[in-house]
Amino acid sequence: MTEQAPWKVAKDTESSEGGARDRLATILTTAAEGLRVLAVLLNPVMPKASAGLWDALGAESTLGALADQRIDAVAAWGQLPAGTTITKPDSLFPRIEAPAE
């Protein structure tokens, strides 16, 4: 079975030729596309978290506003263009601290 953990495959890219780099690109592209789909599908019930994810994916500049995305078109794979810059978002689900007793 081929390794799927991107942090492990990234270590392999340091010591090997293009095969590991191509594998890493495939893994990261698949993850980004999956997150794009989740952002669209979860938007009706979790709009704030979905908007944060959409922004982090850089999808607004290439795919348009999250509110304009159609659920029936979300399954088309490969909508995020290659080279899209993904940023680290603020916490989508911040920890809720229990009040001290």
pLDDT score recorded for residue 60: 92
pLDDT-based confidence at residue 16 (cuts at 50, 70, 90) = low
Burial classification of residue 25, based on how many CB atoms lie within 10 Å of its CB (0-12 exposed, 13-18 middle, 19 or more buried): middle
- Is residue 14's pLDDT more than 70? no
pTM: 0.82
What is the average pLDDT score of the chain? 88
User: How is residue 87 annotated by DSSP?
Assistant: -
Cα(25)–Cα(49) distance, integer angstroms: 26
Cα(91)–Cα(31) distance, integer angstroms: 18
